[in-house]
């Protein structure tokens, strides 16, 4: 008998996705559209959120634990749907895991390629703006000095609590963004996967306080396309048939109370 296992054309195993909490739901929305036959297992480390004010080693350890949890669930690929976890752990995860690992990245490139004389604000957690991986990305931009990095402590906690409205966020937005009052701002990069859920509030603040067009950018569509490329190249795509319930939700927090919030966020209308 031959011990050669013939690889089938399709792979029905799910894709694993994790974030410190609910933020990765904004990445997942894009992937559900880009890859309509795939199933996803989502892990939100809500008990340990936010990651963004923690030390690098701590974020690395939490990210490794989240990745291992998903690998044990039998995923065929992993998506790190958290900019903070990516900055602290992506190299280690790629070295360690046998499944392919795809990640999000702040979308400063399209923002910097926009014509205009204004600045680009990159909003992210303090950890992301501080860590070497992001700094190297910024240094590769044609005009790195155009980007102003703004570490936005506090926003993730509000979003985790489901407080997405402008009136719930205005005080914090003003604390973080008032130093740029009246400046010409061409673009704002949503460098944390939680922030697309408050894009309307950020846009409103920008319209009221900055000069310029101020387009918003997030990297989620690019991540979804990258996942499609990786699954295609490695012949890991699911077969083109209705997948039924496509998202399973797991959390380090209280699943009963958190799952309805997560499901609601998957439906929230995100617009610029």
> Judged by CB, which is closer to ligand DGL: 77, or 198?
198
How far apart are the C-alpha atoms of 131 and 152, rounded to whole Å?
15
Q: Give the integer Cα–Cα distance in Å for 196 and 209.
A: 19
Least Å distance, CB 83 to ligand DGL, is 4
Contact between 16 and ligand DGL by CB under 6 A: the answer reads no
Are 251 and 42 in contact by the 8 Å Cβ rule? The answer is no
> Which CB atom, from 28 or from 49, has the smaller least distance to ligand DGL?
49
Give the three-class secondary structure for 200: helix
Round to whole Å and give the CA distance between 203 and 261: 23
Question: How buried is 170 (Cβ within 10 angstroms: 0-12 exposed, 13-18 middle, 19+ buried)?
Answer: middle
Q: Is 46 in the site for ligand DGL (CB under 6 A)?
A: no
Number of residues that bind ligand DGL (CB under 6 A): 16
Q: Which is nearer to ligand DGL, 189 or 247 (CB)?
A: 189
Longest distance between any two alpha carbons in the chain, whole Å:
75
In the complex, the smallest distance separating the C-beta of residue 172 from ligand DGL, rounded to whole angstroms, is 14
Q: Cis before residue 50, ω within 30 degrees of 0?
A: yes
Is 192 an annotated catalytic residue?
A: yes
Annotated catalytic residue within 112, 152, 192, 214 = 192
- Restricting to residues 82-101, name those near ligand DGL by CB under 6 A: 82-84
51 binds ligand DGL, rule: CB under 6 A = yes
Q: Is 192 near ligand DGL (CB under 6 A)?
A: yes
Q: Is the dihedral of CA 82, 258, 53, 93 positive or negative?
A: negative
Out of 11, 19, 38, 105, the residue judged to bind ligand DGL by CB under 6 A: 19
* Binding region for ligand DGL (CB under 6 A): 19-20, 23, 49-52, 82-84, 125, 128, 156, 192-194
Residues tagged active-site: 82, 192
């Amino acid at each position: 008998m031959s011990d050669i296992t013939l690889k089938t054309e399709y792979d029905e195993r799910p894709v694993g996705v994790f974030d410190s909490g609910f933020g990765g739901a904004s990445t997942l929305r894009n992937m559900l559209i880009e890859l309509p036959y795939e199933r996803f297992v989502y892990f939100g480390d809500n008990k340990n959120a936010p990651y963004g004010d923690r030390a690098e080693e701590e974020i690395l350890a939490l990210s490794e634990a989240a990745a291992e949890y998903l690998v044990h669930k039998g995923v065929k690929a992993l998506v790190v749907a958290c900019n903070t976890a990516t900055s602290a752990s992506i190299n280690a995860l790629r070295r360690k895991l046998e499944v392919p690992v795809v990640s999000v990245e702040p979308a400063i490139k399209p923002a910097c390629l926009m014509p205009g004389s204004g600045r680009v604000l990159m909003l992210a957690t303090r950890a992301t703006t501080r860590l070497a991986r992001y700094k190297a990305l910024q240094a590769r931009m044609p005009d790195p000095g155009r980007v102003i990095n703004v570490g936005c402590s506090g926003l993730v906690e509000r979003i985790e609590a489901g407080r997405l409205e402008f009136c719930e966020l205005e005080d914090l937005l003003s604390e973080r963004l008032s130093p740029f009052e009246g400046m010409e701002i061409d673009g704002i990069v949503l460098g944390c996967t939680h922030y697309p859920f408050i894009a309307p509030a950020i846009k409103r603040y920008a319209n009221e306080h900055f000069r310029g067009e101020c387009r918003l950018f997030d990297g989620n569509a690019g991540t979804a396309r990258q996942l499609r490329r990786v699954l295609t190249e490695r012949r890991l795509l699911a077969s083109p048939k209705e997948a039924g319930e496509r998202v399973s939700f797991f959390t380090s927090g209280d699943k009963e109370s958190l799952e309805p919030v997560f499901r609601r966020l998957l439906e929230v209308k995100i617009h610029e």
